[in-house]
Chains A and B, each alone.
Chain A
């Protein structure tokens, strides 16, 4: 379990520095957290040239080992190509664009030489207002678009002394047992069936000015070059066969247009993911102990994202200037 601690200078909860997590539910990996709570990065030079890579659990990537996380792979690619720049994964499970936005000024103070801000999203709905979020900040649409801390939301992984003791004794199985028992009792049903099926209510979707609003706010939060990396679920299974189109292709188009108007380039990884599969059957998502094409990015997916990040930041329009 990741224990979170409050960091005053970063104005956010971060994984406890020096802690580590062994993940085996999806993938099988060990992740270490350094002084700034970055997954897979135990030592950080705050004065070096840096690219901040913002994201949720896709960037935190507990599913892959530290040297295979996209930030580490991207750093290696930059180094190999003569760029002395470190890519820092500022990812946390459950975080949303609203969280990154509020944290950007604090990170700008902590890291003196930020060259670019890269935001990775795996679901474009994370850029839309009124979405459920586990973390502190939320994007509201009513009465007007606004991003602010939500007093009701908050990280659920803050360490308690009891949880720490349980982890230290390697007795986290007890916590699992308690959760399981609570879940069973919570779902207790004694009435005869049939059980009425819940009707899926469509989530609130405001697609229009909201993309532009959040792009504007992101641009205002940082004056550095900014890139939005979009990792769709491509390829995916549909009715028994692999398909290579993104279900959210239309949304991605609108998002790209809105962000481009604010000077943020969006890189859609649908094509690189599809090409990787066509070339040598490499899937970006899925592990041996999870379903192919589903869930988080696997090491191959991280490599593809790292490559796309490098290409985006070294292309003529966003070229890094490291000299």
Chain B
């Protein structure tokens, strides 16, 4: 089920009604859990069992972890839970990638590796990471294991963040389940504001750009270098609006229902270094990787070389988390290498504030790195990545096709970012609560998103991860 579907609004209305009418907190949590399972089953009822299995494994492991004191058995229990959770992820998400590479390796001997025809369950990477977060938080004694299977199930499957994040941490969400969520006009207003912002970003901007991006990327050999460059810029805007739009809708929905999620994006395209970019982009994933992978690997505590290696390894796995293809692995390595390089460079540089021109240069360099990364991320193969890059750099001839609507959408996002750079303009046009302008702008944004969204179906990009 998508946040832009009428069925979602019906479900949300019913859940809201239950929140307002039910007196029992336990009953309310059951309603939220059933709604969440329905939300997932709406896509494919067959995979609800997989999610429930993942929930049960991690709930049981956490219960055992809570009762054990010796490190050895605690490690074993956590290891088994993590292994089983990752097994599900591995089988469904990476089997094709694995078999493809095995096939490539044994091709020379004339051997055929049998192919498996498995559907990738929507949001499997997200709910697996959330489940792991619960087990690891209990293992590290950050939170106690809960006795309620329902609460663990609700934490992992809570419908606003179920299929495309943000990856909510157990330590952040589980305590919220101990108290009855409070509905208020203030929360409703704030939630609606964020939801509409997300809806506009996703349904209007990202979906408008999707048609242009999909068409040019899939036929890149026929388009001019200029068109391909605009397509890359459009994809840079599309992926931001698509994913941050979904996050905004998720956060807004949860806030409306009385739950708080942390922000997942903080205007990442204003970053002036790749490190800053990862502090602003998909924050829930980067902090997850930092806390559960980078720091356990040693973080920056074991010398400069080891820090660089840890960064590289963390980002490689981060890349693989995004998709089962070499382009994603290389994308992760690309970011890891730049993060390591930046860290190395930053230790050598003085900590004096940057001048305006240095700041602009750093922004340009960061955006170049990010956009080249997006080219890798979007390309279906390394051959396509290289082909597009060569065509862009050599200003290759071909069909020049730049729809004005694409330019408008890019312009809107650029304009929004420029507003953020000017406090005066931001005060005048920002969507602050309690202003007539805000109500007007949100109404227009919701209307435009609903009426002028493209007819073609464009699922959220991150649904595939």
- Report A's interface with B, CB cutoff 8 A: 173, 176-177, 180, 184-185, 188-190, 192-194, 237, 240-242, 281, 283, 286, 288-292
Among the stretches B109-117, B218-226, B328-336, B437-445, the one at the interface with A is B218-226
Kindly state the separation between the CA atoms of A185 and B62 in the bound complex, as whole angstroms: 44
Complex Cα gap A240–B217 (Å):
9
Asked whether A291 lies within 8 Å of B215 as measured between CB atoms, the reply is yes
Please state if B399 and A193 are interface contacts (CB–CB under 8 Å).
no
Question: Are A286's CB and B6's CB within 8 A?
Answer: no
Task: Indicate if the CB atoms of B451 and A192 lie closer than 8 Å.
Answer: no
Are A194 and B401 within 8 A (Cβ)?
no
Check B429 for interface membership: any CB of A closer than 8 A: no
Chain A: CB-nearest residue to B224: A281
**Set A184, A188, A192, A288: member contacting B45, Cβ < 8 A:** A192
Q: A176-B451, A288-B404 are in contact. Are A194 and B46 (CB under 8 A)?
A: yes
> A237 — nearest CB in chain B belongs to which residue?
B219
- Contact, CB under 8 Å: A288 / B403: yes
- Is the CB–CB distance between B222 and A241 below 8 Å? yes
Q: Which B30-54 residues have a C-beta within 8 angstroms of A?
A: 38, 41-46
Contact of A281 among B43, B44, B399, B450 (CB under 8 A): B399
Chain A proximity of B73: nearest CB distance (Å): 40
Mind listing 21 A-B residue pairs with CB under 8 Å? A176-B451, A180-B451, A190-B7, A192-B42, A192-B44, A193-B41, A193-B42, A194-B45, A237-B218, A240-B219, A240-B220, A240-B221, A240-B222, A241-B222, A242-B222, A281-B398, A286-B401, A288-B401, A291-B215, A292-B399, A292-B401
In angstroms, Cα B398 to Cα A241, docked, is: 12
Flag if B399 contacts A283 (CB, 8 Å).
yes
The secondary structure that dominates the A interface is loop
When C-beta atoms are compared, the residue in chain B nearest to A173 turns out to be B451
In angstroms, Cα B451 to Cα A177, docked, is: 6
B contact set with A: CB distance below 8 Å: 5-7, 10, 38, 41-46, 211, 215, 218-222, 397-399, 401-405, 450-451
Closest approach, in angstroms, between the C-beta of A299 and any C-beta of chain B? 15
| Closest chain B residue to A241, Cβ basis | B221
- On chain B, the residues within 8 Å of A190 by CB distance are 7, 10
Contact in complex: B404, A289 (CB < 8 Å): yes
Q: Which residue of A lies closest to B1 (CB)?
A: A193
A192 to B404, Cβ gap below 8 A?
no
In the complex the two chains form, what is the Cα distance from A194 to B5 in whole Å? Answer: 16
| Nearest CB of chain B from residue A276's CB, rounded to whole Å | 13
- Measured CA separation A4–B349 after assembly (Å): 74
Cross-chain contact A185 with B403 (CB below 8 angstroms): no
Asked, given contacts A242-B222, A288-B404, whether A180 binds B399 with beta carbons under 8 Å apart, the answer is no
Chain B residue nearest to A282 in the complex (CB) = B399
Nearest neighbor of B46 in chain A, beta-carbon distance? A194
- Per the bound structure, the CA–CA distance linking A267 and B42 in Å amounts to 52
Give chain B residues whose Cβ lies under 8 Å from the Cβ of A292: 215, 399, 401
**Contact A194 B43, beta carbon cutoff 8 Å:** yes
**Are A193 and B45 within 8 A (Cβ)?**
yes
For residue A283, which residues in chain B have a CB less than 8 angstroms away from its CB? 399
In contact, A192 and B219 (Cβ under 8 angstroms): no
Bound-state Cα–Cα, A187 to B397, Å: 44
Q: How far is the CA of A63 from the CA of B411 in the complex (A)?
A: 25
Q: Which residue in A173, A194, A288 is a CB contact (below 8 Å) of B44? A: A194
For B399, the chain A residues whose CB sits under 8 A away are: 281, 283, 292
CA gap between A286 and B46 in the complex, in Å: 42
The residues of A that contact B221 with a CB separation of less than 8 Å are 240-241
Q: What residues of chain B lie closer than 8 Å to A289, measured between beta carbons?
A: 403-405
Q: Are A185 and B6 in contact (CB under 8 A)?
A: yes
* Top 7 A-B residue pairs of the complex, sorted by shortest distance between their CB atoms: A192-B41, A192-B45, A184-B6, A194-B44, A193-B44, A193-B43, A242-B222
List chain B residues, Cβ under 8 A from A189.
7
A194 contact set on B, CB distance < 8 A: 43-46
> Taking CB as reference atom, which chain A residue is nearest B48?
A192
B residues in contact with A192, CB < 8 Å = 38, 41-42, 44-45
Measured CA separation A178–B274 after assembly (Å)? 47
Least Cβ–Cβ distance between A185 and chain B, in angstroms: 7
Smallest beta-carbon distance B38→chain A, Å: 7
Name which residue of chain B comes closest to A294, CB basis: B215
Of all chain A residues, which has the CB nearest B223? A292
| B42 CB to nearest chain A CB (Å) | 6
